[in-house]
Amino acid sequence: MSYNNLTHLKTTILSQFTTIYGGLKKLKWSILNNQPFPTFVKNFMMYLIPIFIWLFIIILINILPRPYILTKFLLRFDNYIFDVGVLSLDKHLIGPLSCLLCVVTGSLLLEYNYYNYVPPNKNHKLHFLAFQPSTIRTSSSSSSSSSSFDYEKSFLEDSDPFESSSSLDLESEDTDNDPINQKLINQIDQVGYLPYNAWLTTPLILLNLSWVIINLLYSQKDHVTKFNNITAWAFYVIVHLVAPIVVVVWLYLFHPPNSIKIFITTIGFNNILIAMIHLVFPNAPPLFIKLYGETMTPTNELPYTDGITRQDMKLGDSLYRAVYYVAPNKFTSCPSIHASMSSLIVFFVCFYSRYSWFKLVAIVYLLGEWWSAMYLDHHWRVDILLGLICAIFTWTISLNLKRFGVLANQESYYKLRLKSTVGSTCKVLIDDNNNYEDSEGVTTMGMRLFSNTRFQDFFDPLA
């Protein structure tokens, strides 16, 4: 090999190595967002505290003796509010009508008090702190330690950009120079600080339709086939475990900082609420009645007391124990944590996602979780309904918290994007030491990873 060829080979290898190193460095920065790794881990572990508390309560459920475990109550109550006897106003219809009346009344009260969102800038002209291209500057390296997790606090301590003396009207010529700026201004003026294409009333619609949906899914539970067995098991075990992780990654890639924290803590507090109900209100699942009848006194020593597979699935004892008895959670039929978690995931997706098809995928996932919980004889219909109600309760609180809620986070993020020194376009800068900067915390992980490329806007929730 000649000297020139050898030099060319060394240059090529060095160039490839430099490219790979630069890509890994950018990936690390995109994930950590200028935080030291220990700080990133500490923040994430703080988010998981409600999850750890929930897991601790689950351990207590299986250890603490409970003076009573109900077996017949849910069977009777489930039949009372979901089964329709003869079509007349007798005792066979009072339960279903009462249930329908309660869910419709509840949804109306929720809409009036918590979901009647009025855009703050409706009926008056919006002013904003104009993005001046000349203000783009290279951030100093001293600001590189700033974290996107503190962006809400840093903004709230500053003045409101909408009240700046240098603000311009919507018709300002400068707004036309930045299409994202103009789109954001129009969005705020029309629907306030909601994300693009947000389905805010999804919980209310789902609550109104819950009785019908649950009964339709329940009508398919006795159609036992091998395909249904595998599908139900996949939804109840694999999809149930994977879906929250997928949503966490999706929020971090595509949506404002703090969205991931709100999602994890909401799921955690929702699960704590359900676990506390399980602790003080233990109930046997349908499978227990099927295996032992209504007269057997339930104890934790009885096998298959709330199995992950129905009696006639024939999946085998070893598979059953492998997927269920790793973490048994007995006599926790009501409410259904599967129904509640899937409902919360749908609420977050329908609120944040701009794509209707992705929302529909989430709804299909919810229907699969609800159906599998009943098909596998793990939950009664009323368990699904009460799981949905728990999800709506925690979501409504999370949505409306004054400072740390979903809507407050959106408002802070929208204002910060308009106020940012890098403008709504969020072109990520590089300091003198070739370190990527997002000192104001206005970018998503996807925007940082593909910064200053044509793919950046794909990960921008405002593009």
Q: Is residue 2 part of a domain?
A: no
Which of residues 404, 432, 448 is at a domain's end?
Answer: 404
- Does residue 318 share a domain with residue 412? no
Whether 30 is covered by a domain: the verdict is: no
Tokens of 124: 């008056």
Q: Work out whether the CA dihedral 13, 16, 21, 22 comes out positive or negative.
A: positive
Residue 18 placed within a domain: no
Using omega within 30 degrees of 0 as the cis cutoff, is the peptide bond preceding 303 cis?
no
Query: Within this chain, do residues 181 and 202 fall inside the same structural domain, yes or no?
Result: no
Distance CA(419)–CA(413), nearest Å, equals 10
The contacts of residue 351 (CB under 8 Å, 6+ apart) are 194, 195, 198, 199, 200, 202, 399, 406
Task: Give me the pLDDT at residue 133, please.
Answer: 31
- Strand positions, DSSP E, 315-448: 429-430, 436-437
Q: Is 211 helix (H, G, I), strand (E, B) or coil?
A: helix
Give the start-end residues of each E strand in 250-344.
none
Q: What is the H or E stretch that residue 150 is in? A: none
Distance (Å, rounded) from C-alpha 92 to C-alpha 428?
65
Residue 20 in domain: no
Name the DSSP letter for residue 128. B
375 shares its domain with 264: yes
- In this structure, is residue 29 part of a structural domain? no
Q: Which residues pair with 437 in a beta bridge?
A: 429
Q: Are residues 161 and 233 both part of a single domain?
A: no
Look at the chain and report how many structural domains it folds into.
Answer: 2
The amino acid present at 254, given as its one-letter code, is F
Assess whether 300 and 175 both reside in one domain: no
Q: Say what the pLDDT of residue 292 is.
A: 78
Same domain, 416 and 453: yes
For residues 317 and 173, membership in a common domain is answered with no
Work out the end-to-end distance of the chain between its first and last CA atoms, rounded to an integer number of angstroms: 52
The pLDDT value given to residue 105: 95
89 is a domain residue = yes
Residue written as token pair 């800038």: 121
Q: Residue 205: which domain range? A: 43-117+197-404
Same domain, 276 and 341: yes
37 DSSP 8-state letter:
H
- The answer on 392 and 268 residing in a single domain is yes
- The answer to whether the CB of 450 falls within 8 A of the CB of 456 is yes
pLDDT at 300: 65
Tens digit of pLDDT at every position of the chain (463 positions):
566 667 767 677 777 777 676 677 767 767 777 778 888 888 889 989 999 999 898 888 877 777 788 888 888 899 889 987 644 445 578 889 999 999 999 999 999 999 987 776 554 333 333 333 323 222 333 333 333 334 334 433 443 333 332 332 333 344 445 666 677 777 787 888 889 899 999 999 999 999 999 999 999 888 888 888 889 888 988 999 999 999 999 999 898 878 999 999 999 999 999 999 998 888 888 888 887 777 777 776 665 544 444 544 544 444 444 444 444 567 788 899 999 999 999 999 999 999 999 999 999 999 999 999 999 888 999 999 999 999 999 999 999 998 889 999 988 888 887 776 444 444 444 444 444 444 456 788 888 888 777 888 888 888 7
Provide the whole-model pTM.
0.80
**β partners of residue 429:** 437
- Of the residues 370, 389, 404, the one at which a domain ends: 404
Position 258 scores a pLDDT of 86
CB atoms within 10 A of CB 459: 20
3-class state of residue 70 by DSSP: strand
Q: What is the pLDDT of residue 271?
A: 95
Tally: H helices and E strands in the chain: 19, 2
Judge if 344 and 226 occupy the same domain: yes
Give domain status of residue 21, yes or no.
no
- If asked whether residues 397 and 275 sit together in one domain, one would say yes
The Cα 253–Cα 444 span in angstroms is 6
Q: How many residues does the chain have?
A: 463
**Are 441 and 367 members of one domain?**
no
17 in a structural domain: no
